[in-house]
A and B are shown apart, each in its own frame.
Chain A
Amino acid sequence: MTDSMTIAAPILIPLIAAALCAVFWRSASVQRAISLASSVLLLAAAVWLLRTVTTQGIIASNMGGWQAPFGITMVADTFSAVMVVITAVMGMAVAIYSVAYPDTAAREAAGYHPLFQGMIFGVTGAFMTGDLFNLYVWFEVMLITSFGLLVLGGRRDAIDGGVKYVALNLVATTVFLIAIGLLYGVAGTLNMADLSGKLALVENQGLVTVIGLLFLLAFGMKGAVFPLFFWLPASYHTAPMPIAAIFAALLTKVGVYAIIRAFTLIFTGDVGFFSNAIALIAAATMITGVLGAAAHYDIRRILSFHIISQIGYMLMGLAIYTPLAVAGAILYIVHHIVVKANLFLIAGAIRQAGGSFQLKKLGGLYHTRPLLGVLFLIPALSLAGIPPFSGFWGKLLVIDASLQAEHYALAGIALAVGLLTLYSMIKIWLEAFWKPVPEEGSAYGGAVPVTLSRLRFAVMLTPIVGLAAMTMTIGIWTEPFVALAGDAAAQLLDPRAYIAAVMGAPR
């Protein structure tokens, strides 16, 4: 396969699937088959992409044969390829899970499959584009499909959450567009690799810093960092669990990806200033997220707030800006996507088995569903950073790097936040699994479990088991993952290879 094919395949597969699903609008079973087939194909294409990138180095492809920087370039370096693989894994896990989750038929009739595939299309495109305006377009693809997914059933609270999600995200992308306009005015190009060299030549560096901050604002809003995260806990919990899981896994991480890409490749002129700004944001994000989670008793809200606090760890790696720290951030992103999506899937299973998302109404699940309890503990402890799970290594790398770089305050905050994360996870465990079922007739009694057939519950548990196994694998067989993250970090911090792949004689 040519490089162009290798790069285009992970983008085209979900697009074709979305189109086919729309064609077979009336037949839910055909759509479901297309969706599942597409996720398998996407995973294969993504793994092939990662293999190509790790063996051949960074590959780039100019769409339509227009030479960079005039045309739109798609680029895949190790970081992009890793993100595409993890996207494909998530797509597959959620596609399987959503088959068994209740109300599938109603969702499918409203266009779940085309929207879902469309969102995967937007996410993979965002991970591989080499052009800022093109990134904006991918953001919009991702947004409009996620809007659709969020309000799919038209439930009252989903519409309520959806309005807030839509309003704040539209403002964020408009800020992004304004920043693009200003950057184009300053540099005369929007190709990221081209910008990397040209921004250093701009006379007024203060202007570049301001534009950089505008990008930080726009991407930070996507990534739900402090103080721009309010849309996330207002909306994520209103979506059905498969949709919340894929949102939690991918959407904010596209924002984090864009921040990492922009501040390692484009805005490298004033690293000290941006590092300080990002370090402050990271610390505030970690603390507010975890404290928000501690205050809530709805599983979905606890998990939503933990997304925010975990984003802080990723930004912390970027703020420290050493190869070890960025490698830690990348490993953390991968670990977080797997674990967080899994926790949302488990929350869905808890809802079915216990009849509620409210911790006070739950209880006794360890007695009725012991396997679910064990499956919950794996990602929960991993999220808190307990060895031997994946979260431990991500935290270890980031904290080790911050100690080496003498960012002691950041390291201290990261450790304290880890402890508070453990508190939230133990709270879910104690309330949902350990304590007895609330008595019938008491204030919190009377939650009715959903009766699912054994087969359906087994199908729901399949992706949960798979993702838990991934967490264990990253935790126990860490070496190759750390090496891969190290490669990706080295490429990010020394962008010469990236620029050469884009600007010099693309194949």
Chain B
Amino acid sequence: MEALIAIAVGVLLASATYLLLSRNLLRLILGLVLIGNAANLTIFAGGRLVGSTPPLLGGSDAGVMANALPQALILTAIVISFALIAFTMGLIYRAQATLETVDTDGMRLAEPPNEPPAVPGTEIAEPAAAPASRPAPRPRRTAAGAAE
């Protein structure tokens, strides 16, 4: 059982890493969800999967009882990651609304002006890499904008 969970964690982490490296923010969210679940499963396996009997006083012997602590930890982690993911989704919705792109290579407003993007030409998203995003407009750089 531990081996199965270990493999599951490995697969989740690998998929999460792949998604996190994507330039599309929606994939990034999915990556965050997956990596959070990988963490939860790690804690679960760390607590040893010995039994499924509820750990109640006066119940059966300790050898077959489930370990309650990892479950408490995971429950906390799930609640927290739920809130954070919700916030991130809100933020990305807002980013799409104000910056009109969800492609991270197009998001260069916070970078110094007059500096070329890391890869020339990536300001307009390539359809193959980021199918969900619209072509990113060149960020406006007026004198007033640069002053801020």
345-370 of chain A: CB within 8 A of chain B? 355-358, 361
Report whether A177 and B95 are in contact in the complex, using a CB–CB cutoff of 8 Å: no
Complex CA gap A177/B20 in Å reads 17
Report whether A151 and B91 are in contact in the complex, using a CB–CB cutoff of 8 Å: yes
Judged by a CB distance under 8 angstroms, whether B63 is at the interface is no
Complex CA gap A381/B99 in Å reads 39
Q: How far is the CB of B70 from chain A (nearest CB, A)?
A: 7
Output the residue of A136, A140, A174 with the most chain B CB within 10 A: A174
Contact of A185 among B46, B80, B83 (CB under 8 A): B46
Closest A residue to B80 by beta carbon equals A140
Contact of B80 among A137, A148, A160 (CB under 8 A): A137
Complex CA gap A164/B20 in Å reads 12
Q: How far is the CB of B81 from chain A (nearest CB, A)?
A: 8
Choose the segment among A30-38, A231-239, A462-470 that binds chain B (4+ C-beta atoms closer than 8 Å). A231-239
A-B contact count (CB 8 A): 120
Choose the segment among A16-24, A120-128, A165-173, A396-404 that binds chain B (4+ C-beta atoms closer than 8 Å). A165-173
Q: Name the A residues within 8 Å of B47 (CB-CB).
A: 184-185
Chain A interface residue count, CB cutoff 8 Å, equals 48
Judged by a CB distance under 8 angstroms, whether A213 is at the interface is no
Judged by a CB distance under 8 angstroms, whether A317 is at the interface is no
Q: How far is the CB of B40 from chain A (nearest CB, A)?
A: 8
- B-side interface mostly: helix
Report whether A170 and B32 are in contact in the complex, using a CB–CB cutoff of 8 Å: yes
Report whether B108 and A160 are in contact in the complex, using a CB–CB cutoff of 8 Å: yes
Complex CA gap A298/B104 in Å reads 23
Report whether B42 and A178 are in contact in the complex, using a CB–CB cutoff of 8 Å: yes
Please report B residues at the A interface, Cβ cutoff 8 Å: 20, 25, 28, 32, 35-36, 38-40, 42-48, 69-70, 73, 76-77, 80-81, 83-84, 87-88, 91-92, 94-95, 98-99, 104, 107-112, 139, 143, 146-148
13 contacts between A and B (CB under 8 A): A144-B83, A148-B87, A154-B98, A157-B110, A163-B95, A166-B87, A166-B91, A167-B28, A177-B39, A177-B42, A180-B43, A186-B46, A358-B146
Please report A residues at the B interface, Cβ cutoff 8 Å: 133, 136-137, 140, 143-144, 147-148, 151, 154-164, 166-167, 170-171, 174, 177-178, 180-186, 234-235, 237-238, 296, 298, 301, 355-358, 361, 446-447
